[in-house]
Amino acid sequence: MPLSFATRRTCGWIESFALEIPFKVLASTGGERDLTTTNQEDFYVIDSCLGFDYSVMILKGLDPWEGSSSRTRNPFAWIREAFSSTEKDVINLSGLDSAVYFVFLSTVFGIFLLSGIIMLPALLPLASTEKIKRVVDSTGKNAFNDLDKLSMAHMKENGPRLFASAAACYWVSLVTYYFLWKAYKHVSDLRAEALMSPEIKAEQFAVLVRDIPSSSEGYSKKEQVDSYFRAIYPEAYYKSIVVTENKAVIKIYKELEDCKKKVARAEIIYGNSKEVNPEGVRPTHKTGLLGLIGKKVDSIEYYNKKITELTPKLEAAQKVTLKDKQQGSALVFFTNRVTAAAAAQSAHSPIIDTWTTINAPEPRQLLWTNLPKTFYEREVRQYVVYFIVFLTICFYMIPIGLISAFTTLPNLRKMLPFLKPILDITSVRTVLGAYLPQIALIVFLALLPKFLLFLSKAEGIPSQSHAERAASGKYFYFVVLNVFIGVTIGGTLFDSFKDIQEKPKSIFEKLATSLPGNATFFLTFVALKFFVGYGLELSRIVPLIIFHLKRKYLCKTEGDVKEAWLPSDLGYATKIPNDMLIFTVTLCYSVIAPLILPFGAVYFGLGWLVFRNQVLNVYVPKYESYGKMWPHMHKRILASLLLFQATMVGYFGVKKFHFTPIIIPLPIVTIIFSIVCNKKFYRFFQCTALEVASHELKETPNMEIVYNSFIPPCMNADKVPEEQLNV
């Protein structure tokens, strides 16, 4: 991770808090390779008195002050900065994935803005001026509050004003199609541009081969792979890395790295102690359990000895692994991009489930342990995971209910008697009694994204970015089905299922009748999301607190501080489903209660602004998937649109509108639109189009560098025997 010590930024209203942090940023702009070897002197404090830092920009070798010479020390300068940044800046600083996220934000913002501009002046007066006596609305309340007067609920049943609402459905849908189409085209262009860049990117020369059939005896997997691909690509084939079972090596490697870290730490402590006492106190520790028991030893000597012991052991283990633990998967390298791109999308063997090829992901995001999983293992795992996710989404209340049932206060007292004195305090008992069930729910919801990511990785997906996309998809279903539909209908999906079973087709009807009653709730929900959510996001208070705690109690060496300071990436796996929830809610209410539209627009507009700042200055992406997230988002936006249209058909039915059939074409158009987009754009997001790969490179690639970049750190190239590398 060359960018591992990029500092986080704080800004705006928490400046005073931010001032405490000793910002240390690398000013030398020697490019990525230098960064990892720079020593301590290269750091210096910049701008720490104001809390502004532009670590990401500096790390990329850009001058953040360029073009803004009259820079004010205004706490809101970041807003101007965010607005003045271009898409190119984002791509250069944070990669294509971040740019795609902004395309998503601006697309959704555009949808709500354009819908709202027409619909607010048209629908609100129509609803509020409707002469209607007290109507029993679907939630059973007999009176309208002020907000309800502005909603479709306030329109007469089968009244002529409902035509305006029907027209609004068309308008929202058309606006969505238009923006989605433009966005898909734009993202496709961006992806093409990124992939045809003249820069040499190692992953564009590599192909991941899986399901290598067991070879005839006497041949190693490596020889098998080499001879197979050399026969098919006599000219363009370079060489291969066969995936090995690295468990043993990783264990030794980790131990070695740990020792190296501990030596460094011990030396720092020794150095610090010299400042007090010129001779210094050599740090010692005990060798037993947790350093509490056993013989006391000199730490520096002990670890240095251990390092000299482990180094040859590691080398031996590497040799054994390379020779005997070759797995049925390999990375294959080609000397040009077109051949690699064509190889990744072609069937190589007549038996399709052997020698399967895909584009190699970046080395940094390869999930090595997933690579050797076989074709049918992956298939079976996928279906098992889908089934588990289905159960989780539909019946998540059952385990939580069970836990709640068992963790009542009397039970707790029985099972954990040492808690008795605490539980006997009246106030604690009251609070716990009231909130124990909710705590179980909160813990579950907090752990869910991690659980879904774990499940996605268990599917056998080869790259981190793909796993996060898969997790994001699963989380989307959970969030939309349970939060939106669950809250609206009142109860979990499980309860709803029972009703639906009795009378299929009732879900949209049920949803439709419940929607107007919840308009106020969701309006508040969207507003709360951006007031509290973005505030937290901008201030980054939580990571700041964690960092301070770590620095105080754990960090000793400069390396430790760097690690604690390690900037995270955007975390698409949870961010996008949450955004999608807001989108779904706003879209579904857009015609029923158009007042939600400005809130939705503000959420995404503000989101664009806040994250523009965060992306330019705070987050460092963990991987680059060249915009593969977009089809995923596109599909889910269309799913939300379909939900909206189906719900509206249901709601018009509830309103006893005789012309309801006029909006039935909408879901059909959505499905056709989805198919067309899929056929036109989707495949390019799965593989690289040859036209794109055939663009010229700025120089002939040094294949040795490309090759070495894919060797996992524990099998480090300089320690790998020559004959293995140059076969």
Binding residues (CB under 8 A) for its own copies: these are 188-189, 191-192, 228, 231-233, 338, 341-343, 345-353, 355, 375-376, 379, 676, 679-684, 687-692, 694
Longest dimension (CA), the chain: 94
For its own copies, the closer CB: 51 or 631: 631
| Shortest spacing between CB 359 and its own copies, in angstroms | 12
3-state secondary structure of 105: helix
| Shortest spacing between CB 683 and its own copies, in angstroms | 5
Which positions ≥6 away from 450 have C-beta within 8 Å?
A: none
| Shortest spacing between CB 429 and its own copies, in angstroms | 52
And the tokens for 98?
Answer: 């971040």
For its own copies, the closer CB: 357 or 496: 357
Q: Are 707 and 715 in contact (CB under 8 A)?
A: no
Which positions ≥6 away from 545 have C-beta within 8 Å?
A: none
H/E run at residue 297: strand 296-298
| Shortest spacing between CB 376 and its own copies, in angstroms | 8
CA 714 to CA 718: how far, in whole Å? 11
- CB-count burial class (<10 Å; 0-12, 13-18, 19+) for 177: middle
| Shortest spacing between CB 368 and its own copies, in angstroms | 25
For its own copies, the closer CB: 227 or 411: 227
For its own copies, the closer CB: 431 or 675: 675
H/E run at residue 585: helix 572-589
For its own copies, the closer CB: 325 or 381: 381
CA distance from start to end of the chain = 29
For its own copies, the closer CB: 187 or 263: 187
For its own copies, the closer CB: 185 or 296: 185
For its own copies, the closer CB: 26 or 330: 330
Q: Which conformational region is residue 67 in: left (phi greater than 0), alpha (psi within -120 to 50 degrees), or beta?
A: left
For its own copies, the closer CB: 352 or 422: 352
| Shortest spacing between CB 185 and its own copies, in angstroms | 9
| Shortest spacing between CB 220 and its own copies, in angstroms | 20
For its own copies, the closer CB: 472 or 670: 670
* Cα–Cα separations (whole angstroms), residue 293 to 100, 262, 285, 542: 54, 18, 9, 36
| Shortest spacing between CB 692 and its own copies, in angstroms | 6
Q: Are 419 and 413 in contact (CB under 8 A)?
A: yes
CA 446 to CA 456: how far, in whole Å? 17
Count CB-CB contacts under 10 A for residue 213. Answer: 14
For its own copies, the closer CB: 101 or 355: 355
3-state secondary structure of 243: strand
For its own copies, the closer CB: 124 or 338: 338
| Shortest spacing between CB 375 and its own copies, in angstroms | 7
| Shortest spacing between CB 234 and its own copies, in angstroms | 9
Bridge-based pairing state of the strands 25-26 and 43-44: antiparallel
CA 417 to CA 423: how far, in whole Å? 10
| Shortest spacing between CB 629 and its own copies, in angstroms | 17
For its own copies, the closer CB: 376 or 497: 376
Q: Could you tell me how many helices (H) and strands (E) the chain has, helices first? A: 33, 8
b/e for 22-41, b at 16 or more Cβ within 10 A? Answer: ebbbbeeeeeeeebeeeeee
DSSP string, 587-632: HHHTTTSTTHHHHHHHHHHHHHHHHHHHHHHT---S---TTTHHHH
CA 347 to CA 342: how far, in whole Å? 10
For its own copies, the closer CB: 352 or 431: 352
| Shortest spacing between CB 553 and its own copies, in angstroms | 51
For its own copies, the closer CB: 139 or 197: 197
3-state secondary structure of 201: coil
H/E run at residue 339: helix 337-344
What DSSP designation does 684 have? H
| Shortest spacing between CB 538 and its own copies, in angstroms | 36
And the tokens for 45?
Answer: 């404090």
Dihedral of CA atoms 316, 321, 324, 330 in degrees, nearest 10, equals -150
Tokens 């929830």 found at = 581
Q: Which of 331, 343, 253 is nearest to 714 (CA)?
A: 253
| Shortest spacing between CB 224 and its own copies, in angstroms | 13
| Shortest spacing between CB 192 and its own copies, in angstroms | 4
* Cα–Cα separations (whole angstroms), residue 232 to 127, 242, 339, 450, 530: 69, 18, 11, 42, 56
DSSP string, 396-413: THHHHHHHHHHTSHHHHH
